[in-house]
Amino acid sequence: MKMVFRWFGRADDNITLKDIAQIPGMTGIVGALFDVPVGEVWPLEKIRALADEVHQSGLEFEVVESVNVHEDIKLGLPSREQYIDNYIQTIRNLATVGVKVICYNFMPVFDWLRSDLAKELPDGSATMAYQEEIIKATTPVEIVERFSEGSQGFSLPGWEPERLAELKQVLELYEGVDEEQLFQNLKYFLERLMPVCEETGIKMAIHPDDPPWSVFGLPRIITNRENLVRLLSLVDSPYNGLTLCTGSLGANPNNDIPAMIREFGQMGRIHFIHVRNLKLNAPGDFYETSHLSSDGSLDMFEIMKALYDVGFDGYIRPDHGRMIWGEQGRPGYGLYDRALGAVYLTGLWEALNKMS
């Protein structure tokens, strides 16, 4: 496995590449161009500049998260053709600098969703939380406002203002789109991409929906084992794979994460994994914890063991962390708790390696 760390770029992150390079066992960053509007081609010169900057810090830049998918592709509108052409050009440009995996998601309108971006825990740390009853009592417009107020002045990935400016209009467009239609639109998108992925060697790795169920009446399909099996069969190619996110899928207690890792890992279809923990209070009621097994509801040893047993050689990153030690930063993406998570996961891996 290769341990990597998400970085939002010099312009939009208070964490430096030097900070990241000093985390034990860290091999590279997971990056993106955050100033290119969704649907447009990522210019090669900007990609090159980012890659050069990362390489100068002694880190690799082999994973991109995310190249966001334009809503017209998810909706299956005729205008998707141009956006898919643009996506393909972005894949070609990313391959030029040595990118190997692209993480993306296929969630309509809203990316990840929380009811609280800074819930205070008894130890004084702050974390993100989700309560279905709060979400149900909130309109989509109110959620967008709450996210922009709670973001500490940072942009939140997937919550870029330009995506949400035409919120009402986009929500109306989804009124005729059900899960079946969304699967068909994803299939169309992947079928167009796969020849280019095979040619360039870039693997597509879809991120599960977070939380893994419908919100605001919008369809969500990357939610459970059955649907992941279907997703992989839409195009049966090793380039059509997963970003298995333990925290996203783990919000549904029926999702057996180690079993999913064994099943899809053996198929060679997990290209990237996000490992984090969360505490499930009740269905639809959870908060994010430190990565440590005993702090949350997921067993990190069993997760890492499943990865180890299937010979996982892809990319892994710690996922959201709490705000600890007085750190001020982008919710979920501070330095300290994610660094602790990374070293903990690397430690579990070392133990598995030496015990085998």
Tell me the number of residues near Mn ion by CB under 5 A: 3
- What is the β-pairing status of strands 285-288 and 126-131? antiparallel
Catalytic status, residue 274: yes
CA atoms of 242 and 262, how far apart (whole Å): 13
List the beta bridge partners of residue 218: 215
Picking from 140, 67, 124, the residue whose alpha carbon sits closest to that of residue 101 is 67
Shortest distance in whole angstroms from residue 47 CB to Mn ion: 23
Show contacts with Mn ion in window 312-331 (CB under 5 A): 319
Shortest distance in whole angstroms from residue 260 CB to Mn ion: 14
Shortest distance in whole angstroms from residue 315 CB to Mn ion: 12
CA atoms of 333 and 17, how far apart (whole Å): 14
Catalytic status, residue 319: yes
Q: What is the arrangement of strands in the sheet containing 278-282, beginning at the earlier edge strand? A: 116-120, 126-131, 285-288, 278-282
Q: Catalytic one among 87, 274, 308, 337?
A: 274
List the beta bridge partners of residue 206: 104, 242
Q: Catalytic one among 207, 271, 315, 337?
A: 207
Residue that has been written with the tokens 């299937």 in this structure: 310
Residue 101 contacts Mn ion per CB under 5 A: no
Contact with Mn ion (CB under 5 A): which of 103, 245, 249, 278? 245
DSSP single-letter state for residue 305: H
Catalytic status, residue 245: yes
Shortest distance in whole angstroms from residue 245 CB to Mn ion: 3
Structure tokens that stand for 79 in this block: 């205008």
Q: Catalytic one among 104, 315, 333, 344?
A: 333
Residue among 271 and 274 whose Cβ is closer to Mn ion: 274
Residue 274 contacts Mn ion per CB under 5 A: yes
What residues are annotated to the active site? 207, 245, 274, 319-320, 333
Binding footprint of Mn ion on the chain (CB under 5 A)? 245, 274, 319
